[in-house]
Structure 1
Amino acid sequence: MRDLFATLPDEPAPPMPAGYLDTVLTLGRRSARRRRIGTAAVWAVVVLALAVLVVPGVQLPAQPGAPSKKPGLPDRFAGYSLLTSTVTKTPPGRAIALYGYGNGELFNMFQPLVVGADRDTYRQVDALQERNRPSALLAPDGTGVLLGDDRGATDDLVLVDLAAGKRRSIPLGGPVGVRLLAWSPDGRYVAYSAAPLTGSGEFGSVNFVEPEVARTGTLRLLDLSTGRSTELPAIKPAWTAAFAPDSRRLAVQVGQEAHLIDLDGRESGSVHITAGRELAANVGWSPDGRFLATVPWAADGPFDGTVGGNTNHGVFLSIPGNVGFVAITAGGTPPPAPVQDVVQLLGWRSAGSVVAATANAAGQLSLTEVQLGAGTRRTLSRFDTGDSCELGMQTCQVFDLQLATGLLPDLTVRHAGRPQRGPWPATLTIPVATVVLGAALLLWRRVRRT
């Protein structure tokens, strides 16, 4: 090997071009700097993805804050969002409103939502979704939601605790179809109608629970303190109901008569309701106990043995009517004048003031306080009905709207802040995180090759 190298010409290496070493060093520094910048960019993407996707999904051990002294209603409701979490995942605390929101013209994208009474929290009531959005009631104090099952006959009712996110099963003693009618002001009793279901006939086998129970259901009273229900077979078929302010009596409409009964089913009288009208569901008894509030039939009215029985469950709120008042005792104080242009009566702030859903000429739904007698109005809140539903192709609609009636006397209106929707749903978080992290990996590999 030494001999081989000895034969090579002993000539000096050619000189390097001028500035060659500086050029090589500059290119090396530039390549190293590019790699450092690329690596930093990739880590920035990863950190941003973790901040946006993972951190909001971490459920902290803190429980929902204690209720403020006075419940509040946002001056505008937030628009539709696929990023709204659920009650089970992150409980919202007490709610001021329960409603259905969305559209189903092309895709079924409805959301059953509750809105916080103490802050701008929005949550999907996932128990309602699981049971096909059945009839439900919001507790008067806003702390719970009671629901049946719209998939068919059910063995139980479900009470959702909005503060803890837990569910309580309330047995019904056997599979029946259920329509929830009214919740007593003291929070203890619930009136509902129940009937065996055939799932056949003119209603078919889809969305048949409400109309079938409306035609054949018998009134039952549930005592939430014991979980026991008492059937009142004389009240059949129960159409609508409303409890008295003292929670010891209730008015139940059968046909065009509102029967006044106590908790044992003893009837103390009845009030005739004009044809074409019905007792306002759940909120039809005035706080001073003197009047029943009536509204136009939502569809074809109570079942009369031949026709009727179609309810307004799941119907978009848009058609204005009026609220009339009927005296419970003849010869007493004359009832107030009817309230015109009301889409739905939602509750009472006092004996002389109601809260109702109203709509303007463009169809935008609002919550309005109306003074009885004087007729003066004050807008409390508005719903967003913009084209944000069904991936921006349809307007958003409101249905099955309820307010926490026991909170209305002390209700305040707050400026709507940024909606607090909770952590993103896992069905959205996981795919988005996968795409972002995959893109970061591809970027990092591309930088490494340059």
Structure 2
Amino acid sequence: MRELFATLPDDPPPLPPGYLDAVLTRGRRSVRRQRIGIAAVGMVVVLLLAVLVVPGVQLPLQTAAPSTKPSLPDRFAGYSMLTSTVTSGPPGRAIALYGYGNGEAFNMFQSLVVGAHRDTYRRVDAMEQRDRPSALLAPDGTRVLTGDERGATGDLVLVDLTTGRRRSIPLGDPVGVRLLAWSPDGRHVAYSAAPLTGSGEFGTVNVVEAEVARIGTLRLLDLSTGRSTEVPAIKPAWTASFAPDSRRLAVQVGQAAHLIDIDGHEYGSVQITAGRELAANVAWSPDGRFLATVPWLYDGPFNGTTGGDTGHGTFLWKVGNVEFLPLTGADTPPAPVTDVVQLLGWRSAGSVVVAATNDAGHASLAEVRLDSGNRRTMSRFDTGHSCELGTQPCQLFDLHLATGLLPDLTVRTAGRPRRGPWPTPVNAVLGVVVLGVALLLWRRRRARTRSRRPGGDSPRA
């Protein structure tokens, strides 16, 4: 090193003219570019994070305040994997509960509620965690009650749609459960229960509901106390509907509708036409005069102990008619309502709301006048090829309406679906993408900055 330094001249050669100014200018330029690069990366991160957050944020400025009256969208939104859950973003009062999706290649089903005042869609995660069992929507649209069809269960789960909270309702010893009807005042639920002799785990095959429909005993649940009362004489309870006063109910056993009070005392019965059953949960007319019946979904024999089909988990496709049974001989029943897939409730004593399908399999909701048979389409479902990653049409099943809201129901023009905050897995994937993009931009900017410095490693012309 000494020999090397000895070769240097005592007086170093003069710097080129303007060299110092050029170095300072380049240095300032490098600092500016570095700062601009950092700011650009920050803006990218902020924008991408905003994409994650904005779907779940309700803007303070709304185009219009939600109506105080319950309403039904004139078109239900299509399938979306970005729909949030009730737990993550409580939707508030709901007008409908339904299953949606397809399973041709792989199961992509959702249990959904849609808002009664705006186009809010949420997945009912409590149902999905129990493999989407049958459930009931409260008449006022604020709660969902679900059982468990993977096997015998020791509780029912009550989901509050306004808060997202869940309440476990113990049943005692584990039993198989089939939910039947919810009283108009929201206090009582009728269900059928039976011990299961199997292993208690049936996988994807729903043996639970069929077994309970075969030997299940009626129970009446008081939601205010959480207590269930068994009615041993009503067995096997097949389907049921509460009266408008919430103090009586009709329960089908075989081909008879047994009329009982809320304490389980029977005071009469009505014979049901062979091959027909009470319309689940909505059979009793608002004026208390008639019981609505529908055809069995199952075409084989049913005598109350064998055969039959509950229809849970079956796509809405089979067209039939709704017929009415008078509770007294003095009343003349209305004419049958034809071309119905499912009876969903009553607007009044003179009109009903039904689900229907056209020749292409597209589902719709309609109001039908009983005196004239006039039909008005209220809403349609998107059943296009948007399920299973766009390869299959979407199917509809387990459809319920908030029956207590139907008398005041209006129809609103559907707007942009409000699906809530994106699900955690989606946010996790996008978060990784955001961080990866930010790191890549930062490293590229840093490398370019180093290459422009005097004495940098990159070759110069």
Report if aligned partners of 2:102, 2:387 keep a CA contact under 8 Å in 1: yes
Alignment match, 2:455: none
Alpha-carbon distance between aligned partners in 1 of 2:204 and 2:439, rounded to the nearest angstrom: 50
Stretch deviating more after TM superposition (407-416 or 34-43): 34-43
Alignment match, 2:277: 278
SS in 2 for 1:347: strand
Alignment match, 1:288: 287
Which deviations, in whole Å up to 9, do the C-alpha atoms of 1:88-142 show, x marking residues without a partner?
1211111100001111111211111111112111111111011111121100011
Q: Counterpart of 1:360 in structure 2: which amino acid?
A: N
Q: Evaluate the alpha carbon distance shift between residue 219 and residue 4 of structure 1 in structure 2; reply closer, same or farther with a 3 A threshold.
A: closer
Alignment match, 1:335: 333
Q: Evaluate the alpha carbon distance shift between residue 89 and residue 378 of structure 1 in structure 2; reply closer, same or farther with a 3 A threshold.
A: same
Q: Cα RMSD between the aligned structures?
A: 3.0
Offset at residue 304 of structure 1 (A): 2.2
Work out whether 1:396 is the aligned partner of 2:394.
yes
Q: Counterpart of 2:74 in structure 1: which amino acid?
A: D
Report if aligned partners of 1:277, 1:301 keep a CA contact under 8 Å in 2: no
Alignment match, 1:320: 319
Alignment match, 1:367: 365
Alignment match, 2:381: 383
Alpha-carbon distance between aligned partners in 2 of 1:314 and 1:212, rounded to the nearest angstrom: 15
Work out whether 1:436 is the aligned partner of 2:434.
yes
Report if aligned partners of 1:88, 1:126 keep a CA contact under 8 Å in 2: yes
Offset at residue 427 of structure 1 (A): 1.3
Alpha-carbon distance between aligned partners in 1 of 2:253 and 2:246, rounded to the nearest angstrom: 20
Alpha-carbon distance between aligned partners in 2 of 1:235 and 1:10, rounded to the nearest angstrom: 115
Q: Evaluate the alpha carbon distance shift between residue 273 and residue 51 of structure 1 in structure 2; reply closer, same or farther with a 3 A threshold.
A: same
Q: Evaluate the alpha carbon distance shift between residue 137 and residue 306 of structure 1 in structure 2; reply closer, same or farther with a 3 A threshold.
A: closer
Alignment match, 1:63: none
| Structure-to-structure mapping, 1:118-267, within 5 angstroms | 118-199=117-198, 206-267=205-266
Offset at residue 211 of structure 1 (A): 0.6
SS in 1 for 2:158: strand
Alpha-carbon distance between aligned partners in 1 of 2:263 and 2:189, rounded to the nearest angstrom: 13
SS in 2 for 1:449: helix
Alpha-carbon distance between aligned partners in 1 of 2:6 and 2:404, rounded to the nearest angstrom: 106
Alignment match, 2:45: 46
Alpha-carbon distance between aligned partners in 2 of 1:305 and 1:283, rounded to the nearest angstrom: 20
Offset at residue 16 of structure 1 (A): 6.6
Q: TM-score, normalised by structure 2?
A: 0.88
Offset at residue 67 of structure 1 (A): 8.5
Offset at residue 391 of structure 1 (A): 1.1
Alignment match, 2:451: none
Which deviations, in whole Å up to 9, do the C-alpha atoms of 1:332-360 show, x marking residues without a partner?
22111111111100000000100011112
Work out whether 1:91 is the aligned partner of 2:90.
yes
SS in 2 for 1:50: helix
Work out whether 1:417 is the aligned partner of 2:415.
yes
Alpha-carbon distance between aligned partners in 2 of 1:129 and 1:349, rounded to the nearest angstrom: 31
How many residue pairs are counted as aligned between the two chains? 442
Q: Evaluate the alpha carbon distance shift between residue 155 and residue 444 of structure 1 in structure 2; reply closer, same or farther with a 3 A threshold.
A: same
Work out whether 1:449 is the aligned partner of 2:447.
yes
Offset at residue 205 of structure 1 (A): 8.1
Alpha-carbon distance between aligned partners in 2 of 1:187 and 1:199, rounded to the nearest angstrom: 33
Report if aligned partners of 1:181, 1:242 keep a CA contact under 8 Å in 2: yes
Offset at residue 59 of structure 1 (A): 10
Q: TM-score, normalised by structure 1?
A: 0.90
Q: Counterpart of 1:352 in structure 2: which amino acid?
A: G
Alpha-carbon distance between aligned partners in 2 of 1:8 and 1:185, rounded to the nearest angstrom: 102
Alignment match, 1:354: 352
Gaps of 5+ in 2: 60-64, 449-461
Alignment match, 1:103: 102
Alignment match, 1:269: 268
Report if aligned partners of 2:150, 2:203 keep a CA contact under 8 Å in 1: no
Q: Evaluate the alpha carbon distance shift between residue 395 and residue 5 of structure 1 in structure 2; reply closer, same or farther with a 3 A threshold.
A: closer
Q: Counterpart of 1:182 in structure 2: which amino acid?
A: A
Q: Evaluate the alpha carbon distance shift between residue 67 and residue 152 of structure 1 in structure 2; reply closer, same or farther with a 3 A threshold.
A: farther
SS in 2 for 1:168: strand
Q: Counterpart of 2:194 in structure 1: which amino acid?
A: A
Stretch deviating more after TM superposition (7-16 or 425-434): 7-16
Q: Counterpart of 2:438 in structure 1: which amino acid?
A: A
